[in-house]
Structure formats: structure tokens, C-alpha cells
């Protein structure tokens, strides 16, 4: 099949003739052309009659004007392309001679465009070729349409190529130029339209931002609610645990009182006050004796009694007793966490801070001795040798000290 167009191998554009190929080469410096069997599209707008040479061009025309119906006349206008190079006027005489014959063929001229709009585009900084092309392809509709066309086609390879159309002797005269007053009104209308469009866009963006702020605010409120709910549950669980601990402490004190009372009546040879409720004293004694051989229980009992004695001996100064308990807990905790560090296992007895907090209180040094400390170097130091560090004893000491500090009824009786 004979070729019906020339295709540029550099940009892929289809050209109808050798003349168009030459003009394209001059404007773009492209030189790779080949004969193609693909015809140049000729889509004619049914509404305004504007020819479109590509699907992209017809889509842009539809976008600008709203015209959607096109008549495909590609097959009617497609014809085998002649690859003969047209004769170029070599001299002025030959041009003068051939002027008469060339006038008989189709003459290509620059399309007529609105001069006022062209001047306004040039005043805005657009080149004449680009402004002319924009006005021609936008149908001389308006300054806004021409500017939009330039923005949409600024990447086209032929954007700065002067458009050429066949000379139409029957063409209608161009639209009358606008008067200066009309130009001012038109420019004011364009500015007002652009301002309204900008305001509408800003309002739309503000609505979107407001929706986003509301969404984020709801998420933050929900997260805060969940956090507060979790905190409330945690506090409730903590209060419940404290109440249980207090209840157990009260029950333990009550049991201890009952046992001490029964023990005193037994020693005095008195019968129990209520035999139906109070347990016999003998089984209680046997139960206590059953725990005597267990070493951790014996140490724990001695520590508890030592702490109780310390509080009884200084019951008039609760702050001093509590500070002594906390100091003992610090010393024991340091040894339990760092059993290999000698500095935690050796205490100078004449240290003023130690004396003020623990040493001067009756029962303070005795508690250390129950934990395994021994007086060395002429009773100048309390020392716990590494091989005598018993973690079970230290843990029992820590538990007894925590109970003494946190139990408000400790040592009351």
C-alpha cells in the first residue's frame, strides 16, 4: 500500500506532505522522516467546523468548547503522498514567473485572529507565534481560553510554530475589534471570574480542612476517653487491692489478738471464754511448734518481732520509726541486688547518718544481725561475708520491712 503520510521518527507526528515535513524540520531540527501508511486524522467538529488532526486535539477542543460530535473525513482527504521535493524559488525571477502558477494551487496563509486579543497576549509576554497559535486553536473565543490553551499545550513540540491554514476566499471577516471600554470591561470580567473561581476553590479547601479537623478531633477525643477509662479501671483495681490488703491485715491482727488472749488464759489456767467459738489452745500451740524446724519461717518471725519491738520502743515518734524501716530496706535491697559488692555488705557503725537513722534505735542493729551481719574490727563495722549471703533470708527481710512500712496496724498491739 502506498504511503499516505510522512512520520517523524523523532517525535512520531504525522505530516500530510513534504512541505509540512520541511517546515517541521526547520522548526524542530528533526531530520528522521519515513513514509507511513497511517493517514493523518481529519476530524471535523460538527458544531463549529474546526478540523482536528489527532485524538488529543479533538479531546482538547471538546474540553474547551464542550463540542463532542466530530465527523471523520480522514478517508476522504487521504491520498498517496508525493515524495518529490517541491521546487523552491531559487531566484527572484523564478519566483515572479511561478507566482501565477502557484496561485492556482492551494495557498497556505497565517490564520486571521483577533488583533486586540493578540496584542493583549503579546503584552502579557507570549511570543507572536505562540499567541497566534493559541487564538487560532481556541477559536478566538476569549483571552482566558487562549491562555488556557497555551498552558495545556506548552509542552507540544510545535508550540512556537506559526499555524498555517489554506486560503479561504469565502471566509467570513474577522470579528470586529473591541473598543477600549469593551476591553476594560472584558478584562474586568475575566478578573472577576478568576476571583470568584479562586474564592470557590478556597471555600472548598476550607470545607475539606474543616472536615479533616473534625475527624482528627473525634479521634483525639476517643483516644482520650479510652485512656481515661483505662486509668479509671486501674485506680479501681488498685483501690480494691488496697482494701483487700487492709482487710487481710485486720483479720491477721484479730487472729493474733485471739491467739494471744487464749494463750494468756491458758497460762493462767483459765478456761476459754466461749468454748463453742474459740479454738482450743493446745492445737494452736502444736501448729506453731510444727513451723519451728523450718529455718525461713524462724528468721521471718525473729525479724517481725525485732521490727515490732523497734516500733513499740519508739511509738512516740512515728516519723523516726518509718525512716528507720526505710533505711533498713535500702541497706537490705542494696545487698540483695549487688551481693558481690563489698561496699554494700560493710557498714560503719559510728557513721553519723547511720546512727541517726538506725544505730541509735533499739532493735536496728539486731535486725542486721538476724540477716547475717556480724560485728568486726572491734565492733567498728557490721559485715556480711559473701558466703553467708542468703537470698531467701534477704527476701524475707524485704517482705517484713514492706509489711511494716505499708501496714498501718503494724506493731499497734
Q: What are the pLDDT digits (tens) for 321-374?
A: 889 989 999 999 999 999 998 889 999 888 888 888 888 888 888 889 889 899
Asked whether residue 6 is domain-assigned, the answer is yes
Asked whether residue 118 is domain-assigned, the answer is yes
Give the pLDDT score at 200: 92
Of the chain, the percentage scoring pLDDT greater than 90 comes to: 16
Co-location of 375 and 313 in the same domain: yes
pTM of the complete model beyond 0.95:
no
Is pLDDT at 412 greater than 70 in this prediction? no
What is the helix (H) or strand (E) element at residue 45, kind and residue range? strand 43-45
Whether 406 and 325 have beta carbons less than 8 Å apart is answered as no
Is pLDDT at 317 greater than 50 in this prediction? yes
Question: Which structural domain range is residue 44 located in?
Answer: 1-86
Co-location of 76 and 25 in the same domain: yes
Residue 131 sits in a domain of what CATH number? 1.10.8.10
Asked whether residue 51 is domain-assigned, the answer is yes
Give the pLDDT score at 413: 52
Domain count, the chain: 3
pLDDT tens-digit map of 84-109: 555 444 444 444 444 444 444 567 88
Q: Burial letters for 42-66: b for 16+ Cβ neighbours within 10 Å, e otherwise?
A: bbbbeeeebbbbeeebbebbeebbe
Average pLDDT, the chain: 80
Co-location of 310 and 400 in the same domain: yes
Give the pLDDT score at 27: 77
Asked whether residue 210 is domain-assigned, the answer is no
User: What is the rounded distance in angstroms from the CA atom of residue 15 to the CA atom of residue 121?
Assistant: 29
Amino acid at each position: 500500500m502506498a504511503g499516505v503520510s510522512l512520520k517523524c521518527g523523532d517525535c512520531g507526528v504525522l505530516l500530510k506532505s513534504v512541505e509540512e515535513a520541511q517546515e517541521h524540520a526547520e522548526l524542530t531540527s528533526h531530520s528522521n522522516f519515513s513514509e507511513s501508511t497511517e493517514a493523518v486524522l481529519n476530524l471535523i467538529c460538527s458544531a463549529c467546523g474546526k478540523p482536528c488532526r489527532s485524538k488529543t486535539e479533538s479531546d482538547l477542543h471538546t474540553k474547551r468548547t464542550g463540542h463532542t460530535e466530530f465527523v471523520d473525513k480522514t478517508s476522504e482527504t487521504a491520498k498517496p503522498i508525493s515524495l518529490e521535493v517541491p521546487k523552491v524559488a531559487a531566484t527572484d525571477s523564478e519566483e515572479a514567473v511561478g507566482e501565477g502558477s502557484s496561485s492556482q494551487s492551494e495557498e497556505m496563509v497565517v490564520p486571521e485572529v483577533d488583533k486586540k486579543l493578540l496584542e493583549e497576549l503579546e503584552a502579557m509576554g507570549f511570543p507572536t507565534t505562540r499567541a497566534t497559535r493559541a487564538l487560532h486553536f481556541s477559536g478566538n473565543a476569549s483571552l482566558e481560553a487562549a491562555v488556557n490553551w497555551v498552558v495545556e499545550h506548552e509542552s507540544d513540540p510545535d508550540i512556537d510554530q506559526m499555524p498555517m491554514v489554506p486560503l479561504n476566499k469565502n471566509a467570513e471577516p474577522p470579528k470586529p475589534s473591541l473598543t477600549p471600554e469593551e476591553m476594560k470591561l472584558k478584562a474586568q470580567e475575566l478578573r472577576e471570574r478568576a476571583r470568584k473561581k479562586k474564592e470557590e476553590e478556597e471555600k472548598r479547601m476550607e470545607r475539606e480542612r474543616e472536615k479533616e479537623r473534625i475527624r482528627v478531633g473525634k479521634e483525639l477525643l476517643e483516644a482520650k476517653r479510652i485512656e481515661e477509662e483505662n486509668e479509671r479501671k486501674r485506680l479501681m483495681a488498685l483501690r480494691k487491692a488496697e482494701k483487700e490488703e487492709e482487710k487481710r491485715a485486720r483479720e491477721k491482727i484479730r487472729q493474733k489478738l485471739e491467739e494471744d488472749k487464749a494463750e494468756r488464759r491458758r497460762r493462767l489456767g483459765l478456761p476459754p471464754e466461749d468454748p463453742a467459738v474459740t479454738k482450743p489452745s493446745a492445737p494452736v500451740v502444736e501448729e506453731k511448734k510444727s513451723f519451728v524446724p523450718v529455718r525461713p519461717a524462724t528468721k521471718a518471725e525473729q525479724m517481725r518481732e525485732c521490727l515490732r519491738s523497734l516500733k513499740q520502743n519508739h511509738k512516740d515518734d512515728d516519723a523516726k520509726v518509718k525512716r528507720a524501716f526505710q533505711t533498713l530496706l535500702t541497706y537490705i535491697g542494696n545487698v540483695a541486688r549487688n551481693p558481690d559488692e563489698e561496699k554494700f555488705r560493710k557498714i560503719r557503725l559510728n557513721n553519723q547518718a547511720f546512727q541517726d537513722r538506725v544505730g541509735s534505735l533499739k532493735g536496728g542493729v539486731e535486725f542486721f544481725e538476724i540477716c547475717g551481719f556480724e560485728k568486726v574490727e572491734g565492733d567498728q563495722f557490721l559485715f556480711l561475708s559473701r558466703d553467708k549471703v542468703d537470698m531467701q533470708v534477704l527476701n524475707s527481710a524485704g517482705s517484713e520491712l514492706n509489711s511494716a512500712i505499708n501496714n498501718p496496724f503494724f506493731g499497734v498491739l
